Amino acid sequence: MDTTQDISKIDQLSQVIRYVSVVLDANGYPKTLQINESFIGFVEILDQSGVGLEESIINCITKNNLNLSKLRGQGYDGAANMSGVYSGVQARLKSKQKLATYIHCASHNLNLVLNDAMNSSTEVKNFFGLVEKIYIFFSNSIKHWQLLLSSESSDISFTLKRLCTTRWSSSVVFIGKILETVNVVSKVLQSPKQELSTAVSLLNSALRNLQEYRSQYTDFFEIAVEMAKIWGVPQKFQEKRNRRERFTSLNNVFKIFEVIQPNSLINLTDEQIYNSANKLVKYYDSDLSNALAGQILSFRSCFKEEITKRTSVKEITELLVIENPTLATTFSEICTACITMCEERLSGLGILSIENDRARQLNLKEIINNFAEKKARKRNFH
């Protein structure tokens, strides 16, 4: 969920729900597990406070006949009205459903890491601030923008774009090698099919690459000095910078579900699995029972070789629900744990555009006929 202003300066709340569904074959047997993200519309927002946004979300849940008791996660940006621990949206929803764990959007968070890094340098901060002012100067006036586009002396083959603190990947063309890996990870994190374990793995990979670059500091420093000479700017660089912890909520949730990760199932001792399973049961006490630890140990004993071929919780779930459906009841607690992890006209047009794959599958003729029948004025003549 996020808000943005449309062209008429009206705040629009975009709403997306993420859920898991079991796809059945023609005979009604489980065929595959599918991770879905569905856009359910825009809502005009008049109150940007935590109270106002919470009310909009609850109204959306009610309007779409969704059950709040089944909500198991919420993801927003890190703004105070969203992430506040006392009166933010996430805290208010969690007071109504304690299992609706909040995670700061990983891609958004990663871009904020880059923003913090850039702001640690006054020169870089001032540079991008100047670029932003140039954009504002031209974009706020149709006349100025036309002058930029029609300038005969201009051989620029690209246009100005607004800079955004949560979209530092747009600045990667200026930053170079250091941000190449981060830019790729940021884009992959935005995939609808992305899952928790893969997200954590990607972020750890980016961290290792950046740590490797740090070991090559001398090489980068020499390149920076040469570039500074060419551009005629001071060759003195600030070495001290502030550090800030991020991805805390993401890592905390990952640790809660650690026991059902393929690597953990393979490498943890029986005692570690028992302790981790009980930790998961304690957190999701309304979903799981104390039988989870025993089921996991039995499952590992029976499917150890198969588990080594799996790389995600989704694949572990498919091993039970799809490939061995007769055992799903035997290991019911594991299945539950895995699945747990896992304006009107404007809104309608938005849904048709974003959910175009589903829209193409609709039978328009049937819809039109149904609409005509319901709207027809019928009178009985005697």
pLDDT, one tens digit per residue, over 279-304 is 999 988 888 888 898 999 988 888 88
Q: Residue 262 in contact with residue 311, Cβ under 8 Å?
A: yes
pLDDT tens per residue, range 183-230: 777 777 777 677 777 777 878 887 887 777 777 777 777 777 787 777
* Main-chain dihedrals φ then ψ at residue 348, nearest 5 degrees: -65, -45
Rounded Cα distance, 193 and 35, in Å? 6
Rounded Cα distance, 36 and 33, in Å? 10
Where does the pLDDT of residue 170 fall: very low under 50, low under 70, confident under 90, or very high at 90 and above? Answer: very low
* pLDDT above 80 (res 65): yes
Give pTM, 2 decimals.
0.59
Residues 6 or more apart in contact with residue 348 via CB below 8 angstroms: 41
Name which residue leads in pLDDT, 241 or 363: 363
Q: Which residues pair with 110 in a beta bridge?
A: none
Q: Residue 199 in contact with residue 189, Cβ under 8 Å?
A: yes
- pLDDT at position 344: 47
- 97-133 CB burial, b ≥16 within 10 A, e <16: bebbbbbbbbbbbbbbbbbbbbeeeeebeeebeebee
Q: How far is CA 17 from CA 52, 120, 171, 243, in A?
A: 19, 36, 30, 33
DSSP state of 325: G
- pLDDT at position 173: 41
Rounded Cα distance, 121 and 238, in Å? 7
- pLDDT at position 172: 44
Rounded Cα distance, 130 and 132, in Å? 5
Task: Identify which of 55, 58, 94, 49 has the alpha carbon closest to the alpha carbon of residue 74.
Answer: 94
* pLDDT above 60 (res 100): yes
Task: State the number of CA atoms in the 13 A half-sphere of 77 facing the CB.
Answer: 12
Name which residue leads in pLDDT, 362 or 173: 362
The mean of the pLDDT values for the chain is 77
- DSSP structure string for 166-235: T-GGGGHHHH-HHHHHHHHHHHHHT-TT--HHHHHHHHHHHHHHHHHHHHTHHHHHHHHHHHHHHHT---
